[in-house]
Chain A
Amino acid sequence: MTRLSGGTTPWNARRKLVVIGNGMVGQRFVEALRARDEAGQWQVTVLAEEQRPAYDRVGLSAFFSGATPEELSLVPEGFYDHDPAITLRLGAPAVSIDRERRVVRTATEEHPYDALVLATGSYAFVPPVPGHDLPGTFVYRTIDDLVALREHCAGRQVGAVVGGGLLGLEAANALCLLGLRTHVVEFAPRLMAVQLDEAGGAMLRRHVEALDLTVHTDARTERIQPRPDGSVGSMAFADGSSIDVDVVVFAAGVRARDELARDCGLEVGERGGVVVDESCRTSDEAIYAIGECACIDGRVYGLVAPGYSMAEVVAQRLLDSPAAFTGADTSTKLKLLGVDVASFGNPSGELDVVYSDPVHGIYAKLALTDDAQTLLGGILVGDASAYATLRASVNGPLPGKLADFLGSGEIQGTLPGTAQVCSCHAVTKDDILTAIGEGCADVPTIKTCTKAGTGCGSCVPLLKTLLAEAGVEQSKAVCEHFANSRQELFDLIRVRELRTFSQIVTELGTGRGCDLCKPAIASILASLGNGHVLEGEQATLQDTNDHFLANLQRNGTYSVVPRIPGGEITPEKLIVIGEVARDFNLYTKITGGQRIDLFGARVEQLPLIWRRLVDAGFESGHAYGKALRTVKSCVGTTWCRYGVQDSVGLAIALELRYRGLRSPHKIKAAVSGCARECAEARSKDVGVIATENGWNLFVGGNGGFRPRHADLFATDIDTDTLLRYIDRFLMFYIRTADRLQRTAAWIEGMDGGLDYLRSVIVDDSLGICADLDAAMERHVATYADEWRATLEDPDKLRRFVSFVNAPGTPDPSIQFVTNRGQQIPAGAPVLVSGPTLSTRTQQEVDR
């Protein structure tokens, strides 16, 4: 019921809440409210100016490294579609607020409210110099701004960014990525003047200049002059100098968007921003303001973390629980142009500890109280690895000697329990320890339970340290028989050339193995090209699925899935499958991977079924194995009006290349012929999406218990490069992942994540690519169909009997009943349609 109505509160008793703005803070507010408002007291309407729902403005620059607007989205899938307690109006900016009638107007509608939340954010400040609005001038604020900037930069040579702060350097990075020679023009005497001191700014400047950017400090732009065609041509400065430019980006700060509040008479701050109290309430008690449009204690925060805190405060207030905004952590850590820069706490104190190493480009300053007992804040440039620990130590004692932890980030000493480990979500060390005490035993679980580490991610190393400190052994042992991790076992088995389980358990383990280590070792041996999975001792290692080359079902029967590469099948072959299913009375169902599953086969029937299938040209689909399953595809250019590449052809090529490849867990792949993505490639371990120029490769997606979209790995690559990258990705995964770890968890658990993976696969940073390529070539060259080989070997066929003493007798415990014209296991729950949708067993239905 809750899901359908959004809460238990009757519709007519719900209070109306209007939220103006669907930026990062507005979105966070709606999520926080809906998470708490289980009863559905509030019916929420969100008015958004942009045509896109909330996206990650902090990560906007990722757009230039290939991220799509969808990837930047902050809205959980289905968030607005499936919650009737919220309505999102895109492209519907509020134009006025009538406080007397409590109504918000858009151009076409009126929205009454009982409470109103302003989350209108800010706009980019453009200094009013002559020429500031010429064609070729931009701001850096929305996805649309970036799209326009990218279009304009095509074919241009030189760009300038006005502003040398956080946003300015982000924008400068974007111009570099767009291939422009780039100038950074800063009015203040140093870069990042708000966060850094003079020496830190100077160190940052050295880094930035080493990247061939030209930095102008103390530079006041007088005017921007046009070319004859009217677009931007040059910039003139107050000191009389000038530079020729084709593009100017203004990133000189932001201003609160408080015009709606001004127009309706709400109090605004001297330098802008809607004045609010510590509960984020404006001078009208029905109206709140949060994020960059709010002015609290005379201050407007331009960072997202304080905005998130305000969002939480108002969500709680609206549900009548006390909460107050008590100041915010304005710490920042980012990688600007490849340079780590961080500032935390209050970086100016009575006593400074300073470290400066111009050779390695590292500068650090810690500010302390004069008794040196309390850390107040600090600045890190060039190496911010100690950031998480230091920030969490603010207002406590310095956790160690500065020189000791620069570079390593390792700090001896302990943090107080109140130390905020994750500032994005305000999670303290105590919160983390409680979660660990309640059973969270790894970083992904801590992320799920506490949200720590799910914002900027900078505290993840600290989470690992806390786990280790709490004595949670991150045991990588496969089971009681092997103390090594799967990766270690893989390397040991490969290097020592061990080929049987007996050898392996004698040399590396103890006992006789179990259902954990045996299939893992079977998979390793298969990945190393050890011949047929049922050959010799290897047969004893296989789980029942691999042992019978079929999938065990609830009643002890098996299902059969022939390979249908890319989902393409001739009518003749389709007829064979139908005939086999009919002759053996198999329940038949189309799978999500574009093939056909035949259920209800007894073990002694499997060879008979496969004889027919193999004779008709089918081979094993490995649905039973931790192996490549399917490569799904849309019809692509073959048929589709919109397709831009031959997706079916590529899917078939991929499926034939990787068929039979044993791996730590199942591998699924898909190829879409255009950006419409009909093959749902981004939900696969390997997803390929066609572009006008080639292919985009995505990795690490999955459906299942915790769905995850795959990450963009490479863009616009040709087919040869694509195959090379996938070869290496799969082989590296096979060699280094844990037992039963899908690619998503494997990448998430990787130190350095996707960037590291890219460095291994694209740049060969580990020097193993030739080895990975050779291993895949070996796999491709030695692949043989397991079912064909089994049918040809009387020894292997002997195991396909229900009873060793009665080979002709079917298992009498296996009974079927008929449901919707097909046989299903007797006693299986079946859904009985009707108003109550209850489930009953088939026997009850028959009765």
Chain B
Amino acid sequence: MTAVLTQEWVTVCGYDDLLPERGVAALIGEVQVAVFRTHDGQVYAVGNHDPFSDAYVLSRGIVGSSGVTPTVASPMFKQVFDLRTGQCVTDPGVSVPTYPVSCVDGVVRVGVEDRS
């Protein structure tokens, strides 16, 4: 009995609402998503839940880079996550979910799996 998963695109904010190298949190249903705009204009979305502290705070971390990897550091205990993959850079056994993002006509949308 496999659930059928489809992608639903949810508008979260305007592109200009995102500050370069800073994140925001969005509430989509019961899911908390952290959305980041990096220096080069790219937008990434990962889960807002910090697996190390169990608090929903990743959107408030410092955005930067590790080598060529765009990163966010948890504001709680400073573990660093790869914004592209959700993988924790400092503790590779841990990762957070990632979400697809679209930016069209200045509107940022995040794709979440919709159980239907």
Contacts and interface: CB of A to CB of B under 8 A. Distances in A.
B and A form one assembly: yes
Interface of A: 480-481, 502, 511-515, 517-519, 537, 539-541, 543-544, 547-548, 552, 554-556, 799, 802-806, 809, 811-813
A196 to B, nearest CB: 57
Contacts of A540: 19-22, 62-63
Contact of A552 (B12, B57, B80): B57
Given A512-B39, A552-B76, A556-B56, A804 B17 contact: yes
A515 B80 contact: yes
A320 to B, nearest CB: 46
A490 B27 CA distance: 40
Contacts of A481: 64-65
Give the dominant DSSP class at A's interface. Answer: loop
Contacts of A502: 39
A515 B76 CA distance: 11
A480 B80 contact: no
A804 B19 contact: no
13 contacts: A481-B64, A511-B64, A511-B65, A513-B65, A515-B78, A518-B64, A540-B22, A543-B62, A548-B60, A552-B60, A556-B55, A556-B57, A809-B27
B91 interface: no
Nearest to A553: B55
B19 to A, nearest CB: 6
Interface residues of B, number: 39
A805 B22 contact: no
B7 interface: no
Interface of B: 10-13, 17, 19-22, 24-28, 30, 32, 35, 38-39, 49, 53, 55-57, 60-67, 70-71, 73, 75-76, 78, 80
A809 B27 CA distance: 9
Given A556-B55, A804-B35, 15 more contacts: A512-B64, A514-B80, A539-B19, A539-B22, A540-B19, A544-B57, A544-B75, A547-B60, A554-B53, A554-B55, A803-B32, A804-B24, A804-B25, A806-B26, A813-B56
A563 to B, nearest CB: 24
B30 to A, nearest CB: 7
B65 A512 contact: yes
A556 B78 CA distance: 14
Given A803-B25, A804-B26, A812-B30, A552 B75 contact: yes
Contact of B25 (A539, A555, A802): A802
Given A512-B38, A512-B39, A539-B22, A813 B32 contact: yes
Contacts of A543: 62, 75
Given A540-B19, A554-B55, A813-B32, A805 B26 contact: yes
A613 to B, nearest CB: 22
A65 B115 CA distance: 78
Contacts of A802: 25, 27
Given A511-B65, A515-B73, A804 B22 contact: no
Contact of A515 (B19, B26, B57, B62): B62
A804 B57 contact: no
A514 B64 CA distance: 5
Contacts of A806: 26-27
Contacts of B53: 554
A519 B27 contact: no
A514 B74 CA distance: 11
A363 B76 CA distance: 59
B71 A514 contact: yes
B105 to A, nearest CB: 17
Contacts of B32: 803, 811, 813
Give the 6 A-B CB pairs with smallest separation, nearest first: A515-B73, A544-B75, A514-B64, A804-B24, A556-B55, A512-B65
